[in-house]
Amino acid sequence: MNRVALALVLVAAPSLAAAQASRATAGGIEAPRSHPLSGAELDARTSDIGALLRCPVCQGLSVADSPSSMARNMKAEVREKLAAGYDQEQILASFERSYGEFVRLDPPMRGVNWLVWLAPLAGLAAGGAAVAWALKRSSRNAGAAEATGPASAASDLPSRDTLPADPRLAAAVRRSRELAYGWPGGIPPKPRSSAS
Amino acid sequence: MATAPIPGAAPARTSRMNPWVLAGGLAVVVPLLAVLVLNLGRDPRSVRSPLIGRAAPAFSLAPVGGGAPISLESLRGRPAIINFWATWCVPCFEEHAALTAAARTFREVHFLGIVYEDEEATTQAFLAQRGSSYSSLLDPEGRTAIAYGVFGVPETFFIDGAGRIVEKYVGPLDRGTIAALIARAKGGAP
């Protein structure tokens, strides 16, 4: 029962957040949702929120990092709103009303933005699946090669006893193997343990 | 090529494409190319203003040279053009002449300038030298510019008689564009 409730909450949360965000965007001035800040806390929160806002006149700089007068004015406005008791989301939404979502350096999880958050995870999962599949296939091929002997290995990849078709190159490869691995004549020793 | 068979030699490898790799590659590359092609003609800095179609943000600002503050409220009932400008902005010079002429032609429209990041003295000298047929307001802390989502100057907002933003124009205006956008601001009035 609890699990069902939790699942419902998890499913509903993004849409609730979206609804809340659109209400905040559509509405005018709302009442402050937090308590008024002052002193060191006000300074700290001002730079926290400044770091989440894009400076509109800069190239990829946050309001907290930019020395431009526009960013200074925006910081002053953030500070004033924090001192009046507005919370972070209300302040970000107020700038978003003027500049659009562009002004947020940390895009909120709603609408098409979910793609930004989910695509890397999906990519990771797909990549992991591809690697797992390739590993499984190569170990199956290696098993088949061991069972039937090296000459009839079905793998596309060269095995340790593959030789190039060119006889001179093949001789050089054999010589290299002899030097590198100490195999007499460059011929790999028979596997110690057999699959069968 | 007649060569002695070499024990363990690899069979000649044929180059064949794994269809899954091909499909995966296309699935990544095609959407990226589509996004690129669709956005080639777009200026990455011009973000469509979310204010278009919404009520223009309120303000009450003192005019350059002193006088009673002018508020957005006081402009209600007639279309308004609000031009953000600065004396350090070269395109604003050309635009200033066009706006001054248009303000004389379109008497039924409110024209207002809002000075963006500039000194009052410099602005006053500029207006005295070039003349103006409408007021420019001072926005000392840039609050009004921020509320209107101004990225730079010149930017001009066309507001209908109900106080709704009909269009935002980025860059210097000429007389033809001003006339066309005024027609839209009038059409948008209820």
B89, part of any domain: yes
**Which residue positions in chain A have pLDDT lower than 50?**
1, 4-28, 153, 195-196
Q: What is the pLDDT of residue A19?
A: 43
| Bridge partner residues of A53 (DSSP) | A104
Q: In angstroms, how far is CA A74 from the centroid of its own chain? A: 30
Say if B86 is an interface residue toward chain A (CB within 8 Å): no
As a whole number, mean pLDDT of residues B165-171 equals 91
Give the whole-angstrom CA distance, residue B124 versus residue B131.
Answer: 10
- Residue B8 in contact with residue A150, Cβ under 8 Å? yes
Give the whole-angstrom CA distance, residue B173 versus residue B178.
Answer: 6
Q: What is the pLDDT of residue B7?
A: 56
User: A163 and A103: one domain?
Assistant: no
Q: Do A100 and B143 touch (CB under 8 A)?
A: no
B86, part of any domain: yes
Q: What is the pLDDT of residue A80?
A: 94
Q: What is the pLDDT of residue B14?
A: 57
B110 Cβ contact list (under 8 Å, min separation 6): B75, B78, B79, B80, B81, B134
Domain count, chain B: 1
Contacts for A104-111: CB closer than 8 Å, 24+ residues apart? A104/A52, A104/A53, A104/A54, A105/A51, A105/A52, A105/A53, A105/A54, A105/A62, A106/A52, A108/A17, A108/A21, A109/A14, A109/A17, A110/A14, A110/A17, A110/A18, A110/A21, A111/A18
Contacts of B6 in chain A (CB under 8 A): 163, 165, 167, 170
Give the whole-angstrom CA distance, residue A103 versus residue B146.
Answer: 11
Chain A contacts in chain B segment 148-177 (CB below 8 A): 148-152
H/E stretch holding B127: helix B120-130
Q: Do B117 and A25 touch (CB under 8 A)?
A: no
A81, part of any domain: yes
Give the HSE-up count for residue B117: Cα atoms under 13 Å, Cβ half-sphere: 17
Contacts of A102 in chain B (CB under 8 A): 47
What residue of B is the nearest CA neighbor of A69? B117
B33, part of any domain: no
- Measured N-to-C along each axis, helices B90-105 and B175-187 cross at an angle, to the nearest 10 degrees, of 60
Domain count, chain A: 2
- Can you say whether the dihedral through the CA atoms of A22, A23, A26, A32 is positive or negative? negative
- Radius of gyration, alpha carbons of chain A: 32
> Closest to A161 (Cβ–Cβ): which among B8, B141, B142?
B8
A43, part of any domain: yes
A118, part of any domain: no
Nearest chain B Cα distance for residue A57, angstroms: 6
H/E stretch holding B83: strand B80-85
Peptide bond into B172 cis (omega under 30): no
Q: What is the pLDDT of residue A190?
A: 77
Contacts of B57 in chain A (CB under 8 A): 98
Tell me: the pLDDT tens digits for B78-133? 999 999 999 999 999 989 999 999 999 999 999 999 999 999 999 999 999 998 89
A114, part of any domain: no
Tokens of B142: 């840039």
Give the whole-angstrom CA distance, residue A164 versus residue B105.
Answer: 87
Helices marked H in chain A — which ranges?
2-26, 39-50, 69-83, 88-99, 114-148, 167-181
Tell me: the pLDDT tens digits for B12-32? 555 677 888 889 899 989 999
B40, part of any domain: no
Contacts of B145 in chain A (CB under 8 A): 70, 73
Nearest chain B Cα distance for residue A142, angstroms: 15
* pLDDT band per the 50, 70, 90 thresholds, residue B187: confident
B17, part of any domain: no
Which of A81, A107, A133 is at the close of a domain? Answer: A107
Provide the percentage of residues in chain B whose pLDDT is more than 90: 67
CATH code of the domain containing A39: 1.10.8.640
Contacts of B3 in chain A (CB under 8 A): 165-167
**Which comes out higher in pLDDT, residue B39 or B190?**
B39
SS3 B9: strand
- Residue B96 in contact with residue B130, Cβ under 8 Å? yes
Tokens of B44: 């990455």
Contacts of B147 in chain A (CB under 8 A): 98
SS3 B28: helix
CATH code of the domain containing B155: 3.40.30.10
Give the whole-angstrom CA distance, residue A134 versus residue A141.
Answer: 10
B14, part of any domain: no
Quote the domain boundaries for residue A60: 32-107
Cα A72 to Cα A47, B15, B145: the distances in Å are 11, 61, 13
- Residue B170 in contact with residue B148, Cβ under 8 Å? no
H/E stretch holding B22: helix B19-38
Chain A: residues touching B (Cβ < 8 Å):
25, 56-57, 69-70, 73-74, 76-77, 95-100, 102, 126, 130, 150-151, 156, 158, 161-167, 170
Give the HSE-up count for residue A45: Cα atoms under 13 Å, Cβ half-sphere: 24
B161, part of any domain: yes
Q: What is the pLDDT of residue B157?
A: 95
- Residue A161 in contact with residue A151, Cβ under 8 Å? no
Please state the pTM of the whole predicted model. Answer: 0.66
Q: What is the pLDDT of residue B40?
A: 82
A101, part of any domain: yes
Q: What is the pLDDT of residue A143?
A: 74
As a whole number, mean pLDDT of residues B146-155 equals 93
Quote the domain boundaries for residue B124: 60-187
